[in-house]
């Protein structure tokens, strides 16, 4: 059997990832008042809907944690001890970090919570500035895009194992042809 390389070319075509593969929107988070960069989508880990906050694991140095600890006795923040987060540029309050909270708020403890109402987002893909309140930072959307990527990988893997078995078949055939 003459080797013409067509099979290899065929493989390459199949393995190529489709260009329309979706990624979570990449963005930077800015102070609504003075546009200082406060964080980016890499540091975002979800949204605390009941507080209207973006949850961030990481923020920039322009987010200052106030030394004063506050606490509330009523409402969602009852029995919590927290500090306000301020923008270094304009000193306005942009969020809070909860140091101690009852168990139902355990998920937001020690996480930087940025008030959606005080944040603008610069979307890198579309080069546009939008209000954070118009976007959703729900962890679900991030998880969904991860699942989507995983599914694509599994499909590719499936494809490759089919190609592999086809190749094995061919080598068996050529063995017999000898």
Binding residues for Zn ion restricted to 11-50, rule: CB under 5 A: 31, 33-34, 36
For helices 139-177 and 6-15, angle between their N-to-C axes, nearest 10 degrees: 170
Which residue lies nearer to Zn ion by CB, 24 or 43?
43
Query: Count of residues binding Zn ion (CB under 5 A)?
Result: 7
Tell me if residue 54 falls in helix, strand or coil: strand
Alpha-carbon distance values, 93 to 2, 98, 143 (Å): 73, 14, 30
Least Å distance between CB 97 and Zn ion?
17
Q: Which of 37, 45, 83, 89 binds Zn ion (CB under 5 A)?
A: 89
| Segment near Zn ion (CB under 5 A); pick from 12-20, 83-91, 115-123, 163-171 | 83-91
Least Å distance between CB 24 and Zn ion?
25
Least Å distance between CB 36 and Zn ion?
5
Tell me if residue 51 falls in helix, strand or coil: helix
Which residue lies nearer to Zn ion by CB, 59 or 80?
59
Alpha-carbon distance values, 60 to 85, 105, 177 (Å): 11, 24, 67
Q: Give the helix ranges, DSSP H, for the chain.
A: 6-15, 139-177
Binding to Zn ion by residue 90, rule CB under 5 A?
yes
CB 94 within 8 A of CB 38: yes
Which residue lies nearer to Zn ion by CB, 43 or 89?
89
Which residue lies nearer to Zn ion by CB, 31 or 108?
31
Q: Which of 53, 87, 108, 113 binds Zn ion (CB under 5 A)?
A: 87
Give the interface with Zn ion as residue ranges (CB under 5 A): 31, 33-34, 36, 87, 89-90
């Amino acid at each position: 059997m003459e080797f013409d390389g067509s099979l290899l070319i065929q493989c390459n075509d199949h393995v190529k990832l489709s260009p329309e593969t979706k990624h979570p929107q990449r963005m930077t988070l800015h102070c609504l008042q003075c546009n200082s960069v406060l964080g980016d989508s890499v540091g975002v880990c979800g949204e605390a809907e009941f507080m209207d906050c973006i949850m961030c694991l990481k923020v920039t140095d322009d987010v200052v944690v106030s030394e004063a600890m506050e606490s509330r006795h009523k409402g969602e923040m009852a029995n919590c001890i927290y500090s306000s987060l301020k923008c270094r540029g304009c000193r306005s309050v942009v969020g809070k970090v909860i140091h101690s909270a009852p168990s139902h708020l355990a998920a937001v403890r020690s996480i930087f919570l940025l008030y959606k109402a005080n944040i603008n987002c610069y979307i890198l893909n579309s080069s546009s500035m939008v209000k954070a309140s118009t976007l959703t930072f729900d962890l679900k959307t991030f998880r969904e895009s991860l699942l989507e990527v995983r599914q694509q990988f599994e499909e590719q893997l499936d494809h490759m194992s089919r190609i592999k078995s086809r190749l094995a078949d061919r080598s068996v055939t050529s063995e017999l042809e000898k």
